[in-house]
Amino acid sequence: MAYLTAGDPDLTTTREIALAAIDNGAEVIELGVPFSDPLADGPVIQRASERAVARGTRLSDVLALAAELRAARPACGLVLFSYLNPVVRMGMKAFCAAAKEAGADGVLLTDMIVEEAGEYLAEMQANDLAPIFLAAPTSPDKRLKAIGEASKGFVYAISRVGITGTQDKVASDAPELVARLRKFTKLPIAVGFGISNAAHVKAVGEFADAAIVGSALVALIEKTRQADAAKVVGAFIAGLLKGQG
């Protein structure tokens, strides 16, 4: 799974990068809605959000981009990744209807906690969308059970406590968290936060169902010439799947 901050460096380039990622093996694209105060994210994605917000990228733009990707690559999984504030501003009912119309498969609201998700879950169900929740190593079993019961599509297991960002190796907490989650759900479990190279992807594949690569891609886009970004990201994704990079 590949995470991209929509609108960085611009929406047209994000579209090209997403298509290149899909064509080189990414099975799910997480389209990140840029937000002015991304508290769960590290410096790399914070900077990407700042750039996208400064360019004027809004939730409505990301929904339009999602619709373009769905039309271009109908078989790819498509998840909208956002903080709660932009969704509240649009209105939960309107957002879920718009996400469905755009062709999204699911939604992950970073700061939506399962204990307060009643309205969200109702609107997601009404629009046949998969609600995806974050599960952390510090979550007690009672909370993991609630997350497993409320989730559809897959569960996002955070590999470590803290913010997003690359790391040297997969956190030791991750396998234990996945094992605990499997007691409460039969859904696929994807591991993210810090997965940044082929060795990480291989390691995650030994105990989870999917690896989510985010900050490494966003950092690659940041340092690559805009005209080359799609090609470079495509090659990077292909390398991860071949055990290279």
Residues classed as catalytic: 30, 41
Q: Quick one: which of 149, 101, 159, 153 has its CA closest to 132?
A: 153
Listed in sequence order, the DSSP H helices in 31-184 are 43-54, 59-72, 84-90, 92-102, 118-126, 141-150, 173-181
Q: Which of 109, 98, 107, 10 is nearest to 51 (CA)?
A: 10
Order of strands across the sheet with 2-5?
2-5, 28-32, 77-82, 106-109, 130-132
Q: How many CA atoms are closer than 13 Å to the CA of 28, on its beta-carbon side?
A: 25
d(CA 124, CA 82): 15
The amino acid that residue 114 corresponds to is V
For 156, phi then psi, to 5°, come to: -95, 110
